[in-house]
Amino acid sequence: MNGRVLSLQLLTAHGTRPRPVPEVRALVGRGLDGDLHGKTKPDSRRQVLIVERATLLAMGLGPGDLREQITVEFPSLETLPVGTLLRVGEVTFELSGSCEPCTHIGALNSVPDAEAFRSALDGRRGQLARVTAVEGEGHIRVGDVIAVLTGSPR
């Protein structure tokens, strides 16, 4: 079961669009260097959001529109259980659960019916993850392969 990284984004301020980058550096227990999430609460379950491209296409969205840091081509992403370890580039992530759509995601995307948009994302907004290990400098690059390492380490 493999996938690949299609796009990387960093969110630097709430309410703004994330900016696309060709590579990022991950920090164990902290998320992605330069990204807003995970920085204030070490070991937070919400360090990184990974979203499958099919969700974006189905909703008429582009990479970063759901405020994800990593956009992937990995159809089985939503079916993986909490605790699954993923290897992405030089980084190991532990999936920490599905991302429930926030009440303001529709407004951030300027959709006419924000509540219908949020409801349509239920169970489809991707997986939250935390950085558990890095090799080398801990880089992830667009095009990197994603591999499932194991189920829950616990």
Position 70 scores a pLDDT of 97
Give the model's pLDDT for residue 89.
96
Helical segments of the chain, H only: 53-59, 105-108, 114-120
Instruction: Give the pLDDT confidence score for residue 126 in this predicted structure.
Output: 85
3-state secondary structure of 59: helix
Give pLDDT, residue 129: 94
> Residue 66 in contact with residue 56, Cβ under 8 Å?
yes
Q: What is the pLDDT of residue 19?
A: 93
User: For residue 119, how far is the Cα from the chain centroid?
Assistant: 19
**pLDDT at residue 93, as a whole number:** 96
- Other C-beta atoms closer than 10 Å to the C-beta of 81 total 9
Nearest partner of 125 among 145, 104, 101, 102, judged by Cα: 101
| pTM for the structure as a whole | 0.87
Residues 92, 129: Cα–Cα separation, whole Å: 10
C-alpha distances out from residue 151 to 9, 47, 82, 125, 132, Å: 27, 19, 8, 21, 14
Residue 137 region, left (φ>0) first, then alpha (ψ -120 to 50), else beta? alpha
Is the Cβ–Cβ distance between 44 and 96 less than 8 Å? no
pLDDT along the chain (154 residues), means of 10: 92 85 95 80 80 90 88 93 96 88 63 72 81 96 94 48
**Domains, the chain, ordered by start:** 2-150 (2.40.33.20)
pLDDT value of residue 152: 47
3-state secondary structure of 43: coil
